[in-house]
Amino acid sequence: MHLQQFLNPALIRFVLFVFLFSIAVPSVLAQENGLQKKKMNIAVLEFEPRGGVSKEDAASLSDAFQGQIIETNQFIVVDRNRIKSILQEQGFQQSEACSGVECIVEVGKILKVEKMFAGTIGKVGKIFTVNVQVIDIATAQIEQNKSRRHDGDIEDLLTEIIPEIAAEMSKELTGEEVEIASGTSGGSSSWLWYTLGGLAVAGGAAALIMSQSKDESSSTTKTEALPTAPVFP
């Protein structure tokens, strides 16, 4: 490759872009990781069964709700076993025995969380009722309250109602549009877009350089005319 090709303005711009891109992306990812560390500490109490709902079903729905909250990747969630241990230490053998706001706030202070989720799962006739509250530990106030009524199978609470309430409450707490993750969680979506964008620009720049180099080589290669035959007298 000739020196003139190394000094090609398009090639210089391309190298400069790659250099700046390699510096900018780690910086952005570092900022994202820093923001992710500032997650809210929360805990989810086991939902209280009422009416014709069994304790096992209420516990399963509580686990499902907590799972949905965890999948938002917006909170630091206290392990359920630790909550049970704290309740037993305080003399409560069952979580429904600590359903009052004062008791929930006391447990929240021991767990050192900012918010506590508590709820009830009930049934009146054929209609299921779901009620979930968010209690702020610092103010001892009910910050959110979401209620749903469902005329159908209890399985629908697991697949529809619980994920819906979890998404709504998470959005109101974080102030952001929260999407419940499905399947295995991968890396940062921003990183994916940065990578694809960088590859697209890099590919375009490379194509431009190749095109210019081809044009330059074709323009410098000229066919020389054959000498004319000599004319004899």
pLDDT in tens, 93-145: 555 567 789 989 999 999 999 999 999 999 999 999 999 999 999 999 999 99
CATH 3.40.50.920 fits 39-174, yes or no: no
Q: Reduce the DSSP state of residue 153 to 3 states and report it.
A: coil
- Kindly state the average pLDDT of the residues 140-167: 96
Q: Is residue 145 within 8 Å of residue 172, measured between CB atoms?
A: no
Q: Reduce the DSSP state of residue 126 to 3 states and report it.
A: coil
| Residue 193: band (very low, low, confident or very high) from pLDDT cuts 50, 70, 90 | very low
Question: How much is the pLDDT for 84?
Answer: 85
- Kindly state the average pLDDT of the residues 36-62: 91
- The residue type found at 77 is V
Taking the domains of the chain in order of start, what are their residue ranges? 3-35+189-216, 39-174
Question: How much is the pLDDT for 86?
Answer: 82
- Helices 189-220 and 9-36, packing angle to 10 deg: 180
- Kindly state the average pLDDT of the residues 161-184: 80
Question: How much is the pLDDT for 38?
Answer: 81
- Kindly state the average pLDDT of the residues 32-40: 65
Question: How much is the pLDDT for 186?
Answer: 43
Q: Which secondary structure element, helix H or strand E, spans residue 150, and what is its range? A: strand 141-151
Centre a 10 Å sphere on the Cβ of residue 80 and count the other Cβ atoms it contains.
17
Q: Is residue 134 within 8 Å of residue 147, measured between CB atoms?
A: no
**Between residues 206 and 9, the one the model is more confident about:** 9
**Between residues 155 and 200, the one the model is more confident about:** 155
Cβ neighbours of residue 185 closer than 8 Å, sequence gap 6 or more: 71, 73
On average, the pLDDT of the chain sits at 77
Question: What is d(CA 198, CA 204) in angstroms, rounded to the nearest whole number?
Answer: 10
Question: How much is the pLDDT for 31?
Answer: 60
- Kindly state the average pLDDT of the residues 41-68: 95
195-225: per-residue pLDDT in tens? 445 555 555 555 555 555 555 555 554 445 5
Least confident interval from 54-68, 111-125, 169-183: 169-183
